[in-house]
Every structure is written in structure tokens, then in C-alpha cells.
């Protein structure tokens, strides 16, 4: 898989998983009625995962290279991924690491 395809797959995977979770489902308070995004905002995912917004944005833009297992596990919890989705996220991270070496 080319690095462009991999980045696109990572972007789509994380973006679609973020979009399917509401703040209520993740235990966050909801402020205002008009949200510009479906699901969680990037800032909310970053907070739930315990990473900086900048770092999460880089990951969602397709850069998983160098992400530790603990960061990936934090994303699994924040995005409420099932076992198959967790395995897929870790596989994408491994492919991302391999494409940088």
C-alpha cells in the first residue's frame, strides 16, 4: 500500500469512528445545540485519549508513525472501538511505521 493510500485509510478510519460517537455517549457535557461536526470534535477525542490536540490532529491526518501502544490503546477507549477495530488501528500503525523506515 502506498503511503498516500495508507494516510487516506487512517484519516477515513479515525474520522468515521469519531463521527459516530456523541458527546453524551462518551460522558462529555454538551454545550449549545448546534455542533458543526457530527460526533465528537477532535479536541474532545484528544482530551478523552489524554493527548494534545495537535498530536491527535496529526494522527487523524494519517500520521500514526511513532504512536506508542499506550497512545493507540487510549484512542481505542476514547473512540469506543471493538476488538476488530482495535486490531485494524494497530495494523495501520504498524504499516505507518514500516513506511517511514
pLDDT digits (tens, 9 = 90+) for 68-83: 999 999 999 999 999 9
Give the CA distances from residue 92 to residues 16, 33, 60, 61, 83, in Å, rounded to whole numbers and listed in that order: 15, 35, 12, 13, 14
Model pTM score:
0.88
Rg of the chain over Cα atoms, rounded to whole angstroms, equals 13
pLDDT digits (tens, 9 = 90+) for 24-33: 899 988 776 6
Q: Which domains can be identified in the chain, with CATH numbers?
A: 3-100 (1.10.260)
Amino acid at each position: 500500500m502506498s503511503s498516500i493510500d495508507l494516510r487516506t485509510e487512517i484519516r477515513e478510519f479515525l474520522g468515521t469512528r469519531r463521527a459516530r460517537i456523541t458527546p453524551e455517549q462518551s460522558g462529555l457535557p454538551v454545550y449549545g445545540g448546534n455542533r458543526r461536526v457530527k460526533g465528537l470534535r477532535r479536541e474532545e477525542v484528544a482530551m478523552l485519549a489524554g493527548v494534545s490536540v495537535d498530536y491527535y490532529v496529526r494522527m487523524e491526518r494519517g500520521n500514526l508513525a511513532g504512536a506508542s501502544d499506550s497512545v493507540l490503546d487510549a484512542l481505542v477507549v476514547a473512540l469506543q472501538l471493538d476488538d476488530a477495530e482495535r486490531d485494524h488501528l494497530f495494523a495501520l500503525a504498524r504499516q505507518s511505521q514500516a513506511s517511514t523506515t
